[in-house]
Structure 1
C-alpha cells in the first residue's frame, strides 16, 4: 500500500475500521506508543464518508513510518486529512495491558494465545501470582476469558501440592481471587468472556441475562453452523462490522437480557437465522442476543455467546473482541479534543485532567 502525502502539522491519518487487519495495525501503534483516536460517529472528509470507529492518528513522522509498514503488511489503506474530524471519539490507552486467562488444558485459550502472538498483541497470560497481592487493575487493563473457562478453573485450578512450579500460573486462586476478579471490573477493568465463559462471568458479576437455548438437543441443535446476525455498529464493540453478518455457533448459548443494564450489540434475526449448515429449533434463537455489553462500576464487561475467535473461521468477527480489548480502557474525547488531536492520556497511560 502507498502512503498518502503528509497532511501537514494539523492533519491526521485515517484508517477505516472494517478489516480485521486493523487489529495488527493497532497493535503496531500500541507497541510504538503512538497516540491513537477512534471516532464514535460517522463523518465526512471532503466527499468521502467514514464510519464510526475510524482510526485517527496524528500525522507525526513516527506514525507515518509505523502505519506505512503495517499498511503494507496487512493490505489496509491509510488516508490523510488536512484536519482531524470534529466528532466525538475515544483515545486508546497507551500500551493497553492485556491479560489472557488461559486455564489448564484449554484448547481455545491456546488458540487465542497463538492468535495474539501472530497479531502482535501486547499481552500476558494471567497467572495465579497476579491474584496474590495488590489489585488486578494495577496489572491489567483488559482480561480475556476464552471459551471453556469455568469458576472451578479459576478458583480451584491446579493443586499446587501436586504440580511443579512451572505450572504455577494455573494454580487455583481461591474464593479471594474470584472476588478480586469481580473487583477488577468495578475498579475500572474490562472483562471479556467468550462462549461458555459467559456463564462464568454471569455468575461472577450477577449479569442481567439468562440462557435462551434449551439444553435438550431434541429441541435445539446446530452442528457448527453459520447463523445470521444483526449488529449495532454504532456501538464501540461492533465498530467496523456490517449491519448484518453471520457468526459461527456450536454448543454455546444465546442470551435473553433481563435488565436495562444489558446493552445488546448483536442479536439473531426474527426469521431466516440459518446462513449455512444445519439448525434445529430456530424458534428458540430468533431475536435472542449474542454479544452484550455492560457498564459496571468504573469498568466494562462484554459477553460473546458465540465463539467469535474459533480457529481461522470468520476472522472478521475478531474485531468484536479487539474493539473491546482496546476500547474498554479508552478515554472519551469531545469534538474539540479530537479536532485538536488533544490527548486524554499521558504517554505512560495516566489520565490527564
Structure 2
C-alpha cells in the first residue's frame, strides 16, 4: 500500500505539471482528493492492515495528501499569474499610437432651418404651440371657415380615419386650439408634421412639415403682417432679400396673399431656380377671417389678427438649393454631411 501511495503521488505531480488552466486543476483535485478520489479508494483498504502498519500508512497518506494540496496551490497561483499576464498583453494599449476618431453626429438640414426659423420668431415675441397630428374634422376644417360642403376641401386630399377623425392636413388646427384656450394678445408659431394623400416624387410627399404663425390683438393690420414677414425673409435669406405679396384665396383668411421673395440664387435677375422670373413663392398669409375668430370665442369687432403658413421642406430646399424632396427623407449621411 505504501508503494501504491508513492505511485499515486507521482502520477498526481505529473498531471499537475502539465495542467494549463483552472478547470484542469479542479479536475485533478477531484480525481485524487475528492470523496470518490484515488486517495480515498486506497484508504478504504486500511482495514485490512495490521495494527502496526496502520499508523505508518496513515502518516504516509497524510503526507501524500498534503503534498498534492501543496502542489495544487502552487500550480493554481502559477496558472492565475499566467492568465493575468496573458490578459494584460491582450489588453495592452500603446499610448503612443494616434487615438481613434469618433464620428460626430450631424444636424439634418430641415432641423437646422427649423431652429433658425424658431429663433427668428422667438426673437419677435412669438411662442411655440403644438397640437395633435390625429385631429378632429372640426378643428382641421369647420373651425377654419371650411364647412363640409365648402369647395376648398377639394383642394386637399385628406387621410380620413373615421368620418370625423383625420390626419391633419395643416397645422392651422393648433391656432384654433390656442385661440380657444387663450385670450388676446396671442402670438404663436406652430411647427409640425402634416399629411395629404399625395404621390411621393421630387416635389411632393404624403408626409411633410409646416410652420404656421398667428397673431391676434387689438388693431392688428395687414401692414403688421407684411412687416413681420418682410423681417423674417431678410433674417432667413439675407438682408438684401425683397418681398412682394400677391392676392390669393384661403378660406380662413380675408384678405389673403401669397408672399414671394427675390431669388437668392440670382438676386432677382432670373435663373433656373426661380424659373427666370426673379421671384420665389414661399408662403401663404392673410388677415384672420372674422368667422374663424368668432368660432374660437374671440370678438372680431374688437380684435383682429394675421396668420401665415409655409412648408419647412420647401423652405429647406430653397435655402440649400436641393432639387429633390426625397433626399430629405432618405437619411443618406453623404447627403446630410454637406450641411
* Higher CA-based Rg: 2
Larger fraction in helix: 2
Whose RCO is larger (CA < 8 A, sep 6+)?
A: 1
